[in-house]
Amino acid sequence: MAGRVVHCIERGGHQREGHGRKSKSDWDELASLSAWRFPSSLYPRPATAAAAADPNNNKPAAPVRRSGISSSSRGAKTIKCLRELTNWEDETERHNFLCRLYPLIENSNGQRPNLWSVCRPEEIKRLILDSAKGIIIARYNNDRVEVYEQFMLFVIRTGYRSGDLELDEPLQRIEMHNSNHYFNVPSGLIFEIYAKFDANYFDEETRPEHFHMACKFASHDVVNKFLELGQDPNCRCKKTGDSPLHSLASSIRIGADGSRTIELLLRNGADPNAANLTGMTPLHMLCEYRNSLNVIERFLVVCDDVQQVVHIDARDEEGRTPLHLAVKFDQAEAVELLLRHLRRHPSDGPGHARDNLGNTPLHVAMPWRDEEGFKTLLRRGADPNLANDDGRTPLHVICEKDRDDEFARILFEICDERQLTVQVNTRDKSGKTPLQLAVAKLSPNTVDMLLNRGADITNCIFPTSIDTKFGFDSSLNGKLRIASGALAVAEHLEARGYDFSRSDALAIMKFFANHDLFEKSSSDLEKSLRDDQEFASKAKKAMIFPSLSLYDLIHLGAEEEEKLLTYTDYFVFAHHDKLRMIPRHYKNCFFHLCEKLSRGFFRRWALDPFYELIHRRLPILCCEQILEKLDNQDLCNICLAAAGQTSSQR
């Protein structure tokens, strides 16, 4: 909707720098509207004020005289024509009306068109609410809001107030576009129009009070006025159970600085521990918003000042404390602030508090990538060995969720500083250890770290397929990450004493086959390098080492490549943004890299099966020379045949 309106502005009748020209098909009609006269008998004006207020009157209302306002003949006639062409039941047409009204009111100094001499009160009311809603949508989509804001200002400048008509549609309507988000509505403009501080307007569904709307938009002066008139600072919304502090907390999401208003409410008796119907306190809500640090700090300071104890350990219906939410929403400074407050006001230790699933804040930090919050919790005494209801410690979560080894490194480093041993062999309720999860995740660096910390490699089984819960993508980069990660993990396990068998090697080969990691034809890639200058140029710029580009790697022979690069080198390169330089349609490049990095592994493990299949009739050297001529898919088929399987049994 907002996009359509912006499109109209950019095509519109008021030229602005950087915008396109007017569309003749849409706007030439508007240019001639000032000369278009309706017969006076078509819309006779009501003779009395009572007639003007008659809700059954289908004619335009009589003009309302206000000091300093006179009707511009040209503007009034244009508005009259626009009104006649508008279907007022159609929201899109009402927004088109606002769009075409914009050039008439944008710079209307002095005489302004008298909208009330043309439009009925209910039509003006609809335009006000449409403008408020339009600002919400436009700001959400990063579109322009001039049309809507200019109309609101025009309404105020012409002396209009809500007393000129009855408000039978509550202000709550303006934020129902998205029930999960509140966006920056021009609350000052709305409340200047609807300036009735002694009345409450209720929505049929949620029935929030007008006072709650003032809090929701952090309109400090309006909130103060309500309180001066005796408004209860703890009145609740009937549907949600939100207190005014909850409503104010939601204003932080739209970027409002509600610190002054939150202090105003607290000093006037607002309950800082009031829970809504989902069990959330205002502090829970504040901890959900990443720009709320100053407000949280003011909230805690003022509560201390008015001797109100804040229940930092309060739990919502999911068992989460504010600390859980601060960690989840990557608010490291808020985590620090809450933990400092706990030291001054000891409670039952919500740093170790568990939600309904048994998760501590340390469990929560990893899936949401809150690195700083994770560090803060560990340094402030969080126990890394506590298990949730599934028997999983934070290390289990790291090994299952971490995209790299960063969180595992942080965990071990800080626990070393605290001289605390991390239990690396704990089994969850499904019997899995952190090492088994890291192997299944194909995280070679984490596997190496766990092995260095004494992880037990017995009962460690290499996966034959990717579990979708690990979040691997099927992109070309993703395929290279899978291939290099699988072989790097296998290399780390074998180096630490894992007795790799032919069945394990066959599992890895099946893994490659199941995930389409075999090169189809090397001739296509050679042709691209020879004939496609764009591809060759990009390949030369994608550097693996300072002295080795992707272009160089593709041209390396097998023996030289094996000497220069490890599986881990490929794994690191697969995660690098440099590969994004290679367009997706050059997919043969990625398959070639998968083939090249795994070539030595496939040849090594295919030798014995091939030797057995030919009943040892050729010398080993001859067998090796034959295998060098085969691609990885052929080598995989040899191993399958030796195991009594076929390619269809992968």
Are 522 and 629 found together in one domain?
yes
Are 137 and 256 found together in one domain?
no
How confident is the model at residue 265, as a pLDDT? 97
How confident is the model at residue 159, as a pLDDT? 60
Measure the CA–CA gap between 201 and 316, rounded to whole angstroms.
29
374 is a domain residue: no
How confident is the model at residue 423, as a pLDDT? 96
Query: Could you tell me the CATH number of the domain that includes residue 295?
Result: 1.25.40.20
How confident is the model at residue 349, as a pLDDT? 53
Range(s) of the domain holding residue 223: 197-311
575 is a domain residue: yes
44 is a domain residue: no
Which residues, 6 or more positions from 133, have their beta carbon under 8 angstroms from its beta carbon?
A: 173, 174, 177
How confident is the model at residue 59, as a pLDDT? 40
Are 508 and 617 found together in one domain?
yes
Answer with the one of 165, 185, 206 that is the final residue of a domain: 165
93 is a domain residue: yes
- Which alpha helices (DSSP H) does 515-557 contain, by range? 522-531, 533-541, 550-555
Cα 473 to Cα 62, 241, 401, 438, 470, distances in angstroms: 65, 42, 14, 17, 9
367 is a domain residue: no
Are 278 and 210 found together in one domain?
yes
139 is a domain residue: yes
Are 533 and 625 found together in one domain?
yes
Please choose, from the candidates 524, 542, 482, 518, the residue with its C-alpha nearest in 3D space to the C-alpha of residue 636.
518
Answer with the one of 283, 311, 339 that is the final residue of a domain: 311
Are 565 and 637 found together in one domain?
yes
Cα 562 to Cα 381, 572, 606, distances in angstroms: 46, 16, 17
Are 141 and 213 found together in one domain?
no
First to last CA, the chain: 52
Q: Which segments of the chain have a pLDDT < 50?
A: 1-71, 165-185, 196-208, 348, 468
How confident is the model at residue 289, as a pLDDT? 85
Strands 548-549 and 543-545 come out as antiparallel
Are 571 and 631 found together in one domain?
yes
91 is a domain residue: yes
Answer with the one of 278, 311, 344 that is the final residue of a domain: 311
Are 152 and 206 found together in one domain?
no
How confident is the model at residue 20, as a pLDDT? 36
Are 15 and 122 found together in one domain?
yes
Are 246 and 97 found together in one domain?
no
Please choose, from the candidates 390, 500, 404, the residue with its C-alpha nearest in 3D space to the C-alpha of residue 449.
404
338 is a domain residue: no
How confident is the model at residue 245, as a pLDDT? 96
Joined tokens for residue 205: 């569904």
Are 624 and 549 found together in one domain?
yes
User: What's the number of domains the chain is made of?
Assistant: 3
What are all long-range contacts of 196-202, with beta carbons under 8 Å and residues at least 24 apart? 196/162, 196/163, 196/167, 197/222, 197/225, 197/226, 197/229, 198/229, 201/167, 201/170, 201/171, 202/170
